[in-house]
Chains A and B, each alone.
Chain A
Amino acid sequence: MWFLSGEPNQTTIQKAVDAFGSSNPDNKIAVTYFQNDAYKTKIKTAIGAGQAPTIVYGWGGGTLKTYAEANQVEDLTSWFEANPDLKNKFFPASFGAATVNGKIYALPNQYVAPIVLFYNKELFEKAGVQPPKTWDDIMSLVKTFNDMGVAPFSLGGQSRWTSMMWLEYLLDRIGGADVFKAIFEGQPNAWMDPAVIETGTKIQELVSADGFIKGFSSITADSKADQALLFTGKAAMLLQGSWTYGPMKKEGQNFVQDGKLGFVTFPTIPGGKGDPKNGVGNPAQYMSISAKATDKEKETAKKFFKDGIMTETVIDAYINSGSVPIVNGIEDKLATSPDKDFLNFVYDLAKNAPNFQQSWDQALSPTAAEALLNNIDQLFLKSITPQQFAENMNATLGK
């Protein structure tokens, strides 16, 4: 099995694998860890070369679809039917991105990870301002913090999917969930929706107002520099996945423990059609079984899926690191956690969202996703106009 490096999840998964190994000495699982951005390429290449690990970790959606259509991953539908307890253990919404053409190809696991707007409470107090509720608030906060000599928003722009989160929320708030739905379904001219162009315009407005930290386009998310900018007080706000809470708690020198980390949902846009309760992010993480694995390996993987991956210990470990596991009936556990404010916030966001949009780069096919990330990068650099962005993306529909 291959997994992502980085704490606290690396320890959690290693413990789970070790525990599974000691109770199943005949079916041990070996894990290799990779950095996020590197992994995404590595796994694709390995699957194409028929060298995939037995357990294929991923984010479901468009990438999983290419694997499923090439018969590279096992169809788990009947296995889930035979194990209804397991299927009912998880949030029903988490199966959406695991399903291709009505069949389930992956086990949802880990936690739900919406994108949230983090902010540095200390800086907000110092400036005497409130977290943003609308786009106008954002623009006025940008001015306030720039005057203070603090960057308004931190952003790991070289990773590109970090910039994408801004578009995901803006498009949803401006045009509602249907705009991306049309894009996802590949409807003709779906990218040419006026909401897409307004999204691009808003982005460039924010870039022009120095909304993002100087040098954002050379900062990577893998190095966690975007998080460090927030907790060292060099930037006031950060739009990032809820998964950054754990690392910030661990590495932020008591920034989180001292209650200096604030979090709100993404602001509304005046005149926008989207429901302000809508969320975007990862509904779960996913594990599939390689079709190329031997029968024994497949059995071991299924056993691990059933008994090893989401045990009580693992669930507790996720909660302790500030994540909401995708398991039903965890309200009590969340309520007694020291991180209950954040956990309940994430839980409510995920649960109450009328639409929880999966991250675009995962939902779309790899070909369209790469074009998207490349065009987003150029949009943030202002080397293309919102109109060009929409046109370039429109050309990728159906690819």
Chain B
Amino acid sequence: MSSTTTHRAATASRKIEQTGQQKSALAWLTVPALIFFVVFALAPLVGVLVLSFANWDGIGAIGAAGLENWSSVLSDPGLYNALGLTFLIMIVSWLVQTPISLLLGVFTAGTQRYRAALAVLYFLPLLLSSAAVAIAYKALLDPNFGLAVGLGLPFLAQDWLGVPQLALGLVIFVIAWQFVPFHTLIYQGGVRQIPKSLYEAAQIDGAGIIKQFFHITLPQLKYTIITSSTLMVVGSLTYFDLIFVLTGGGPGNSTRILALDMYLRGFRANLMGPASVIAVILVVIGLVLALFLQRLGGKDKQGSQLEGL
């Protein structure tokens, strides 16, 4: 007994001696990540900020432009159209995806029959690349050679990608189709973390499945919802590949969201300056939204939801 105590004391004192060293060693461990962050995140960010005050066609020499790019972009109705579309897609996507993935997550976390087989099916879209998804949908929805024509279903043979409102709705649908599995996975993990005892107690108190869902599952998933929403909202700022392949921003400008607008200005129209302005706007919006969502978590963020268990 006494030998163990002295041993413990010795270990403890050694630990105290080591803390200083360990701290500096730990600091060194962050260096690789820090280098990556600086080279691939901060440096381009600064570069873009500088470019937003420059004239550059992507090929020739770079010249100073002062505030010209900013004033031209900020007075361009195209920017507000793109901004509006971006927020519209963001909000509608959140409204569509959250309930579906929440319910699917709760379902796949359960123990019903065939659950595993169904879960595999739900997760399939997660394995496909955005470009492949877009090309497949484009072929299926072709108004003249698509699936609806092949099966003889005239009500499905709409010009899905050629009518502005339909194209926008379809983009939101395909995004949901692609990303719901991912968020389902997040919710599945969240639901599995909820202690069984909570449900057992609720059952004893006579709460039904619906009551259990609203009074246990949902509150317990608070942080999962915030995480998933952050990913959805900030992620929706970068929806690009899918829309680019599916509609190219068209018809007209009806699906030209901010990220796509940036690309088209920069790489199609060779206007790197204005494109950089939009990139800066995107970064600012993304940061503000992420901060806001983190705040939603409340001040007791570090507090446990499992107090009293």
Chain A residues at the B interface, C-beta cutoff of 8 Å:
41, 44-45, 47-48, 66-67, 69-70, 72, 157-158, 160, 213-219, 225, 228-229, 234, 365-367, 369-371, 374, 377-378, 381, 383
Chain A nearest CB from B71 CB (Å) reads 15
Question: How distant is the Cα of A70 from the Cα of B264 in the complex, in angstroms?
Answer: 21
- Beta-carbon nearest neighbor of B145 in chain A: A225
Question: How distant is the Cα of A217 from the Cα of B141 in the complex, in angstroms?
Answer: 13
Main secondary structure of the interface of B (DSSP, over half): loop
Question: Within the complex, which residue of A44, A158, A219, A378 is in contact with B58, where a contact is CB–CB below 8 Å?
Answer: A44
Contact A70 B61 (CB under 8 A): yes
The 9 closest A-B pairs by CB, nearest first: A215-B143, A218-B161, A70-B60, A370-B269, A215-B159, A218-B162, A48-B58, A217-B162, A217-B251
Chain B nearest CB from A67 CB (Å) reads 7
Question: How distant is the Cα of A367 from the Cα of B238 in the complex, in angstroms?
Answer: 24
- Beta-carbon nearest neighbor of B167 in chain A: A218
Q: Which residues of A contact B189 (CB under 8 A)?
A: none
Answer whether residue B59 sits at the interface, using C-beta atoms and an 8 A cutoff.
yes
- A44-B58, A217-B159, A383-B252 known; A367 vs B143 contact (CB < 8 Å): no
Answer whether residue B169 sits at the interface, using C-beta atoms and an 8 A cutoff.
no
- Beta-carbon nearest neighbor of A45 in chain B: B267
Answer whether residue B125 sits at the interface, using C-beta atoms and an 8 A cutoff.
no
Contact B144 A234 (CB under 8 A): yes
Q: Which residues of A contact B250 (CB under 8 A)?
A: 158, 160, 217-218, 377
Chain B nearest CB from A13 CB (Å) reads 25
- A215-B142, A215-B159 known; A378 vs B253 contact (CB < 8 Å): yes
Q: Which residues of B contact A41 (CB under 8 A)?
A: 267-268
Q: A365-B270, A367-B57, A370-B270 are in contact. List 7 more A-B contacts (CB 8 A).
A: A41-B268, A45-B267, A158-B161, A218-B250, A219-B144, A366-B269, A371-B269
Question: Within the complex, which residue of A45, A228, A367, A377 is in contact with B271, where a contact is CB–CB below 8 Å?
Answer: A367
Chain B nearest CB from A220 CB (Å) reads 8
Contact A383 B248 (CB under 8 A): no
Q: Which residues of A contact B141 (CB under 8 A)?
A: 218
Chain B residues at the A interface, C-beta cutoff of 8 Å:
57-61, 138, 141-145, 159-164, 167, 247-248, 250-253, 264-265, 267-271
Main secondary structure of the interface of A (DSSP, over half): helix
Q: Which residues of A contact B271 (CB under 8 A)?
A: 367
Q: Which residues of B contact A378 (CB under 8 A)?
A: 252-253
- Beta-carbon nearest neighbor of A229 in chain B: B144
Chain A nearest CB from B63 CB (Å) reads 12
Question: How distant is the Cα of A371 from the Cα of B264 in the complex, in angstroms?
Answer: 10
Contact A214 B267 (CB under 8 A): no
Q: Which residues of A contact B248 (CB under 8 A)?
A: 158
Question: How distant is the Cα of A158 from the Cα of B271 in the complex, in angstroms?
Answer: 22
Counting chain A CB atoms within 10 Å of each CB, which of B142, B145, B163, B251 scores highest? B251
Q: Which residues of B contact A217 (CB under 8 A)?
A: 159, 161-163, 250-251
Question: How distant is the Cα of A214 from the Cα of B163 in the complex, in angstroms?
Answer: 10
Contact A214 B143 (CB under 8 A): yes
Contact A367 B270 (CB under 8 A): yes
Q: Which residues of B contact A216 (CB under 8 A)?
A: 162
Q: Which residues of B contact A69 (CB under 8 A)?
A: 60
Q: Which residues of A contact B162 (CB under 8 A)?
A: 157-158, 215-219
Chain B nearest CB from A361 CB (Å) reads 10
Q: Which residues of A contact B163 (CB under 8 A)?
A: 217
Chain B nearest CB from A66 CB (Å) reads 6
Q: Which residues of B contact A367 (CB under 8 A)?
A: 57, 269-271
- Beta-carbon nearest neighbor of A374 in chain B: B253
- Beta-carbon nearest neighbor of A47 in chain B: B59
Listed by A's residue number, 27 A-B pairs whose Cβ atoms lie within 8 Å are A41-B267, A44-B59, A48-B59, A66-B59, A66-B270, A158-B248, A160-B250, A214-B144, A215-B144, A215-B161, A216-B162, A217-B159, A217-B161, A217-B163, A218-B247, A229-B144, A366-B268, A367-B270, A367-B271, A370-B270, A374-B253, A374-B264, A377-B250, A381-B164, A381-B251, A381-B252, A383-B252
Counting chain B CB atoms within 10 Å of each CB, which of A45, A225, A371, A374 scores highest? A374
Contact A44 B267 (CB under 8 A): yes
Chain A nearest CB from B172 CB (Å) reads 16
- A47-B59, A215-B144, A374-B253 known; A158 vs B247 contact (CB < 8 Å): yes
Contact A370 B58 (CB under 8 A): no
Contact A66 B60 (CB under 8 A): yes
- Beta-carbon nearest neighbor of B266 in chain A: A45
- A66-B57, A70-B59, A370-B264 known; A44 vs B270 contact (CB < 8 Å): yes
Question: How distant is the Cα of A255 from the Cα of B45 in the complex, in angstroms?
Answer: 55
Q: Which residues of A contact B251 (CB under 8 A)?
A: 157-158, 217-218, 377, 381
Contact B144 A213 (CB under 8 A): yes
Question: How distant is the Cα of A378 from the Cα of B268 in the complex, in angstroms?
Answer: 17
- Beta-carbon nearest neighbor of B256 in chain A: A374
Question: How distant is the Cα of A281 from the Cα of B265 in the complex, in angstroms?
Answer: 25
Q: Which residues of B contact A381 (CB under 8 A)?
A: 164, 251-252
Question: How distant is the Cα of A217 from the Cα of B163 in the complex, in angstroms?
Answer: 8
- A214-B144, A234-B144 known; A45 vs B58 contact (CB < 8 Å): yes
Question: How distant is the Cα of A353 from the Cα of B131 in the complex, in angstroms?
Answer: 43
Counting chain B CB atoms within 10 Å of each CB, which of A214, A216, A218, A219 scores highest? A218
Question: How distant is the Cα of A48 from the Cα of B59 in the complex, in angstroms?
Answer: 4
- A48-B59, A234-B144 known; A218 vs B269 contact (CB < 8 Å): no
Question: How distant is the Cα of A370 from the Cα of B261 in the complex, in angstroms?
Answer: 12
Question: How distant is the Cα of A173 from the Cα of B255 in the complex, in angstroms?
Answer: 34
Question: How distant is the Cα of A370 from the Cα of B253 in the complex, in angstroms?
Answer: 13
Chain B nearest CB from A215 CB (Å) reads 3
Q: Which residues of A contact B269 (CB under 8 A)?
A: 366-367, 369-371
